[in-house]
Structure 1
Amino acid sequence: MTSRACVLHGIHDLRLETQSEPVTGPGDVKIAVLAGGICGSDLHYFDHGGFGPVRVREPIAMGHEAAGRVVETGESIDTIQTGSLVAINPSQPCGHCVYCREGKQVHCLEMRFMGSAYRLPHEQGLFREQVVVPVSQVHRFNRDVPVRAAACAEPLAVCLHARAQAPDLAGKRVLVTGAGPIGSLCVAVARDAGAAEIVATDLQAMPISVAERMGADKTVNLAAEPGGLDPYKTDKGQFDVAFECSASAAAIRDALTCLRPRGTLVAVGVAGDTPMPLNLIVSKEITVRGTHRFHGEFAAAVEAINSRTIDVAPIISPSFPIEKAHDAFKEAGDRARAMKVHILFNGYTGD
């Protein structure tokens, strides 16, 4: 038996390849992948061959956001049945290094993260028709959950972890800079946490409209309205917490300027060396918190989607079959048109 995969060989060199179907071990489950979401890091691999020091050095099956149905289980596994819709947690900490022992699994020294080119050999990703993973890496959904919504568990987990780096948001004023998929999901998790007011910014009309559907009370298109945040900069700032999701130097400055003294900036967006106005951080006694991936939040994301506590549907864009994966990446790279583009596998045609 064989299985097809989307394999990146170099910049814009994405190939549909046939591989041997993976074998299920005693503690594993085999999953027929149905939908895989294209992430910002996937786009960096596709368009630039990597990001920062992480470079594609050998062919890699891409993708780390995926959902599918269990088609085979290993011996003695009775916690999940064939036919179940599941999301696959791509994060595999070792469990025994110093950070895992301290409960800081996101900083595991031996982390294996599916679809990552950080290590050599690369960790192969989830844009494959058939994958085999440990049963601990799969989380089951209710029957009525749409497949593409299930595939959004991973980015939602990222945002739940980001929320955990902030103080309690109940009754607080929150700013989200950058309203792409992660920014819009940060809007949703802030709304879920009981924020009193949420303002989201972007430079494109389409992400702005999605942020509104995800729960933003007000949105500002800074390309059309450069001074749109000025009212929030008065009296040393108006927001208690800012989730900075763009990694833009200008957006970072806006966020710090709009934060109240002793407010919190959660840095979600990733870039290279980026200037920050240290004077604002010091003079306003701002707390700056980074946020990296997730651990227990993956299960929480699945539960939020299962219970409809958080609706991820507004971020979902048109999808493409595996045969048109190259077109899917082109679409995903156009922020004026697309948010979360999925590649569809195994003949799945969408919800």
Structure 2
Amino acid sequence: MKAAILSGPNMLSVNHLSRPVCPAGGLLVRVVCCAICSSDARMVLKGHQGLVYPRIPGHELSGVVDESRNSCFVPGDRVQIYPGLSCGHCSACRRGEPRRCISLKTMGFSADGGFAEYISLEESSITSGGVNLIPRNVSDSQAALSEPLASCINAQEKARVGQGDTVLILGAGPLGLLHSRLARHLGAARILITEIDDRRLELAGELAQADRVINIGMERIPQVISDETGSRGVNVILLASNALPVVNLLPLLVEGGRLSLFAGISKDLSFERFDINQIHYRELEVTGAFGSTPAQNTTALDLIAGGFPVEDLITKTLSIDEISAGIEHTNDHQGLRAMVCFNA
């Protein structure tokens, strides 16, 4: 089979490998679509703390069951796959927190992922709820975007986004746009989204479903928030960019407001100081959000089946032989999501 193999930083090549075997109790899946996210691009170009070399990257994927040794699935089933691989037996798994599994692995980082023609899935992927049948009205490329939508669901559940909220989203990349659409779906009354990249500003105006797109190259966020909210502030801030200091965000929140640290902060900004008394006296909440659970992944696929829009976020489709162009498309912000399709 063909697979993209990362052997070191900026050392990605497409090679031929032996097709993996179908494990006992598991599945062998023929990959149909696997999206390229910004984490994939950074990992390929610069490495990643969770990466083990050599590695087949890719964690946003869908496919077709080629061989099954599990009674839940048969060959020909179209499936969407959650990338977390938990043991199912440790205390975290038993209390329903597979993200805290003591032996957690993630496809594309600590286990091989979806930039390959085939991927094998252990029985634990199935028993944890990590393999979902794709509804007939959902395309393979749409299904592959369940994983990033699930991560947004995780963050917004923790931040309790809901009816009547004014929400500020920092960053209008693919995940920022998903956040905007999800906040609207959850009943947010007003949505503001920021961006500085010219192309993404244009796309945000078309796709974000936001009430205002803020060009932070020309506008000051505090002034815009003051104008838009009558100096009151926003209920929720969702940090979907790793290039903004957290220290300046707390004053933008209303009393009891919630800040979600959805994006990992760049190292030069992650040690910024801020007044912790703001959290104390104003009863602010700061939550971290990383990844998602299998249940949230299933919820994301159900939302897409119900009409939640994701297809228009795919701005480039390419074959596995063209994956380097997809990495460039993603890293250089040439568009939004690039999608590797094995029938491309």
Answer yes or no: same fold by TM over 0.5: yes
Would you say the 8 A contact 1:177–1:255 is kept in 2? no
Aligned to 1:119: none
Aligned to 1:184: 177
Aligned to 1:30: 28
Of 66, 78, 86 in structure 2, the residue corresponding to residue 93 of structure 1 is 86
Taking a change above 3 Å as real, the CA distance of residues 210 and 27 of structure 1, as seen in their structure-2 partners, is farther
Would you say the 8 A contact 2:60–2:147 is kept in 1? yes
1:27-55 CA distances to partner (integer Å, 9 max, x unpaired)?
Answer: 222211111111222122111122xxx16
Say which SS state the counterpart of residue 20 (structure 1) adopts.
coil
Counterpart of 2:282 in structure 1: which amino acid?
K
Would you say the 8 A contact 1:30–1:130 is kept in 2? yes
Alignment RMSD (CA, Å): 2.0
1:233-257 CA distances to partner (integer Å, 9 max, x unpaired)?
Answer: 477642101111113234x345323
Taking a change above 3 Å as real, the CA distance of residues 98 and 25 of structure 1, as seen in their structure-2 partners, is closer
Aligned to 1:258: 252
Aligned to 2:239: 244
Say which SS state the counterpart of residue 318 (structure 1) adopts.
strand
Of 153, 156, 159 in structure 1, the residue corresponding to residue 149 of structure 2 is 156
Taking a change above 3 Å as real, the CA distance of residues 254 and 184 of structure 1, as seen in their structure-2 partners, is farther
Once the 2 structures are TM-superposed, how far is the Cα of residue 146 of structure 1 from its aligned partner?
2.0
What count of residue pairs does the alignment treat as equivalent? 331
Say which SS state the counterpart of residue 6 (structure 2) adopts.
strand
Comparing 33-42 with 194-203, which one deviates more in the overlay?
Answer: 33-42
Matches for 1:70-219 after TM superposition, within 5 Å: 70-74=65-69, 77=71, 79-116=72-109, 122-133=110-121, 134=123, 136=126, 137-212=130-205, 213-219=207-213
1:76-101 CA distances to partner (integer Å, 9 max, x unpaired)?
Answer: x2x33332322111112222323223
Q: Which runs of 5+ in 1 are unaligned?
A: 117-121
1:210-242 CA distances to partner (integer Å, 9 max, x unpaired)?
Answer: 44424211111111x232541314776421011
Matches for 1:303-322 after TM superposition, within 5 Å: 303-308=302-307, 310-322=308-320
Matches of 2:115 and 2:317, distance apart in 1: 14
Would you say the 8 A contact 1:236–1:258 is kept in 2? no
Would you say the 8 A contact 1:9–1:58 is kept in 2? yes
Taking a change above 3 Å as real, the CA distance of residues 314 and 226 of structure 1, as seen in their structure-2 partners, is same
1:87-142 CA distances to partner (integer Å, 9 max, x unpaired)?
Answer: 111112222323223332212221111111xxxxx411121101121461321112
Matches of 2:114 and 2:159, distance apart in 1: 31
Would you say the 8 A contact 1:184–1:210 is kept in 2? no
Aligned to 2:13: 15
Identity of aligned residues (%): 26
Once the 2 structures are TM-superposed, how far is the Cα of residue 163 of structure 1 from its aligned partner?
0.9
Counterpart of 1:239 in structure 2: which amino acid?
V
Comparing 65-74 with 188-197, which one deviates more in the overlay?
Answer: 65-74
1:299-343 CA distances to partner (integer Å, 9 max, x unpaired)?
Answer: 1011111111x21123211122111111111111112x2211112
Counterpart of 1:195 in structure 2: which amino acid?
A
Once the 2 structures are TM-superposed, how far is the Cα of residue 172 of structure 1 from its aligned partner?
0.9
Matches of 1:43 and 1:276, distance apart in 2: 29
Counterpart of 2:11 in structure 1: which amino acid?
D
Counterpart of 2:224 in structure 1: which amino acid?
P
Aligned to 2:44: 46
Counterpart of 1:131 in structure 2: which amino acid?
I
Matches of 1:126 and 1:103, distance apart in 2: 26
Say which SS state the counterpart of residue 249 (structure 2) adopts.
helix
Would you say the 8 A contact 2:161–2:236 is kept in 1? no
Counterpart of 1:62 in structure 2: which amino acid?
P
Matches of 2:232 and 2:249, distance apart in 1: 9
Query: What is the TM-score when the length of structure 2 is the normalising length?
Result: 0.89
Counterpart of 1:112 in structure 2: which amino acid?
K
Aligned to 1:277: 274
Matches of 1:304 and 1:216, distance apart in 2: 19
Say which SS state the counterpart of residue 17 (structure 2) adopts.
strand
Comparing 266-275 with 279-288, which one deviates more in the overlay?
Answer: 279-288
